[in-house]
């Protein structure tokens, strides 16, 4: 297999995305995850930009890496300043990494209008900085900023910027589509010319402003680039960077490039989800390979075909990338799709069983009422148990009362009182929470913990509300989705009502009952 060098910039370029701010602890956790995945380089930050990155580089020295090499990022020396006196250069030395990425200008417009210096001085800045670090024994990657825009405007000067870096001893010349507006054919054509001219490793760094960062990266590889820069989940400024979670499987599984160890490919989905969690952003469930929807089937004909032969509607086996096949429950789902959930309850039933037909009819009836089970399979499992007569409620509700108190500056503090019966025993309890649903959740779990101590492991992790008929204003039905976890499994349940508290209650009850059914079965 041909070798592709995966260069991850999640902690540097990815940190520039709106809404993302890593702590030092976050960055340390992510580098360990990336190393386990098997990437070659981890561009971990700019030590000259903030004290947090300086602390990170000091602490990361204590970690033993199996695959990755940590790389510090910084700019060429400033205009008319000796390289050894430049503060950014000094901070890169303090970072004490064996590899360094230096970015410099390749577009004459930026040199003249942004740096406000001469074209010749910019070339000296590139040469001086790279030569300085090479003399210190460092491996140096030169990021040719705005290279493709620069090449279109002044190809001779853009090539001169690479020549300066090459003559200074750069180990890799990385071509950057910084504005993210270049098309794949142009990326291929220009990269091919660079590969032909310079006998050194060529890299590619694409932004996604025209939606083509992954395609552009692939085209650069086909043109001869060997180092691919990008970020996990495509995190990055504006529209993001090239998504390594798409690039790596494409190159390795479809184009016979060796990007990461074969045994690591199955962990790419869990790595993508982990980093979304640490970054505190909602994971893109429609992302190729690593999204929950990547191998989700809804239409009955599709689901039936996939059950017979997965290649009918899947380009790879989802297990290869650590993902899973999902059959979505909906009014357009056929019996084959429903059967996958049914067989989790009763493996003897087939798609032609009368019970299967009854369940499908119930599904369509409930979806007409506003339920949508494609995102709440846990609630649908409870529906199946009820139709099959395999459901016994954990408790009976006596009554509950929710009180919304005087609002504070930051929230509506609420309290809930609840009375339940388990067998012949009653329990009455109350709790306070941030809002009525949180209070109700706490009160319900508090009441049930006496009978089902396993509930202590549970916590509510997400809560979504959708108005189903906006023309009915406040009388409209609402659909509530609640995501819960016990630290190991994650499940989602649903409730529908014209009363948001009642809809939330239904979803909460389903969540607890699903947990306990799994414990018992």
pLDDT the model gives residue 144: 98
Burial of 11 (0-12, 13-18, 19+ CB in 10 A): buried
pLDDT the model gives residue 48: 79
* CA–CA distance, 173 with 194 (Å, rounded to integer): 9
Fold of 292-387: H-NS DNA Binding Protein (4.10.430)
Instruction: Please report which residue ranges of 38-118 form alpha helices under DSSP H.
Output: 51-60, 87-95, 108-113
pLDDT, tens digit, 9 for 90 and up, residues 359-383: 888 888 887 888 877 667 788 889 9
pLDDT the model gives residue 421: 92
Domains of the chain: which residue ranges?
2-279, 292-387, 396-520
> Taking each helix axis from N to C terminus, what angle separates 184-197 and 213-222, rounded to the nearest 10 degrees?
30
- pTM: predicted TM-score of the whole model, two decimal places: 0.74
- Residue ranges for the chain with pLDDT beneath 70: 298-310, 327-337, 374-375, 406-412, 469-475, 521
pLDDT the model gives residue 457: 82
Cα dihedral: 377, 369, 293, 337 (round 10): 60
pLDDT, tens digit, 9 for 90 and up, residues 451-499: 988 888 888 888 888 887 666 566 678 889 888 888 777 888 999 998 8
Task: Compute φ and ψ for 156, nearest 5 degrees.
Answer: -65, -45
**Superfamily for domain range 396-520:** Alpha-isopropylmalate synthase LeuA, regulatory domain (3.30.160.270)
Residue with tokens 């230096």: 102
> Taking each helix axis from N to C terminus, what angle separates 377-387 and 335-342, rounded to the nearest 10 degrees?
80
β-pairing, 5-8 vs 227-230, is parallel
3-state secondary structure of 176: strand
What tokens appear for 206 in the block?
């694409």
**Domains 2-279 and 396-520 equal at CATH topology level:** no
pLDDT the model gives residue 124: 98
DSSP state, 189? H
pLDDT the model gives residue 370: 84
Q: What SS3 string covers 149-164?
A: HHHHHCHHHHHHHHHH
Spatial contact of 363 and 333, defined as CB atoms under 8 Å apart: yes
Specify the CATH class of 2-279 in words.
alpha beta
Residue with tokens 């389903």: 510
């Amino acid at each position: 297999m041909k070798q592709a060098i995966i260069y991850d910039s999640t902690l540097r370029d990815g940190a520039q995305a709106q809404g993302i701010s890593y702590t030092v602890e976050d960055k340390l956790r992510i580098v360990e995850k990336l190393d386990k995945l098997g990437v070659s380089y981890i561009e971990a930050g700019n030590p000259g930009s903030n004290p947090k990155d300086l602390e990170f580089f000091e602490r990361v020295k204590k970690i033993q890496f199996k695959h990755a090499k940590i790389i510090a990022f910084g700019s060429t020396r400033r205009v008319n300043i000796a390289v050894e006196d430049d503060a950014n250069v000094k901070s890169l030395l303090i970072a004490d990494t064996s590899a360094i990425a230096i970015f410099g200008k390749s577009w004459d417009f930026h040199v003249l209008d942004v740096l406000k210096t001469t074209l010749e001085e910019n070339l000296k800045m590139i040469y001086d900085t790279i030569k300085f670090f090479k003399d210190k024994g460092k491996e140096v990657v030169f990021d040719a900023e705005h290279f493709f825009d620069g090449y279109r405007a002044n190809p001779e000067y853009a090539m001169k910027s690479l020549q300066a870096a090459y003559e200074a001893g750069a180990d890799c010349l990385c071509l950057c589509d910084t504005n993210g507006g270049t098309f794949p054919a142009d990326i291929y054509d220009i990269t091919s010319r660079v590969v032909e001219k310079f006998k050194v490793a060529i890299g590619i760094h694409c932004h996604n402003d025209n939606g083509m960062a992954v395609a552009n990266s692939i085209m650069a590889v086909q043109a001869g680039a060997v180092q691919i820069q990008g970020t996990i989940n495509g995190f990055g400024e504006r529209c993001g960077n090239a998504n390594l979670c798409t690039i790596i499987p494409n190159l390795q599984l479809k184009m016979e490039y060796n990007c990461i160890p074969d045994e690591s490919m199955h962990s790419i989905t869990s790595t993508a989800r982990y980093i979304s969690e640490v970054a505190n952003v909602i994971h893109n469930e429609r992302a190729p390979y690593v999204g929950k929807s990547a191998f989700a089937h809804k239409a009955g004909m599709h689901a039936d075909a996939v059950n017979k032969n997965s290649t009918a509607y899947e380009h790879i086996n989802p297990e290869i990338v650590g993902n899973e096949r999902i059959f979505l429950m909906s009014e357009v789902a056929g019996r084959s799709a429903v059967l996958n959930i049914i067989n989790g309850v009763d493996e003897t039933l087939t798609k032609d069983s009368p019970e299967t037909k009854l369940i499908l009819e119930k599904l369509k009836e409930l979806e007409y009422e506003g339920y949508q089970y494609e995102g709440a399979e846990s609630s649908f499992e409870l529906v199946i148990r009820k139709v099959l007569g395999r459901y016994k409620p954990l408790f009976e509700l006596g009554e509950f009362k929710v009180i919304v108190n005087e609002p504070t500056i930051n929230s509506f503090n609420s309290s809930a009182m609840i009375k339940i019966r388990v067998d012949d025993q009653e329990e009455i309890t109350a709790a306070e929470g941030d809002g009525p649903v949180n209070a109700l959740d706490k009160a319900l779990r508090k009441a049930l913990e006496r009978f089902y101590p396993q509930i202590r492991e549970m916590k509510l992790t997400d809560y979504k509300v959708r108005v189903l008929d906006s023309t009915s204003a406040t009388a409209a039905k609402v659909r509530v989705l609640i995501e819960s976890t016990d630290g190991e499994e994650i499940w989602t349940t649903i409730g529908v009502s014209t009363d948001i508290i009642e809809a939330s209650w239904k979803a909460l009850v389903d969540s607890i009952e699903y947990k306990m059914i799994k414990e018992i079965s």
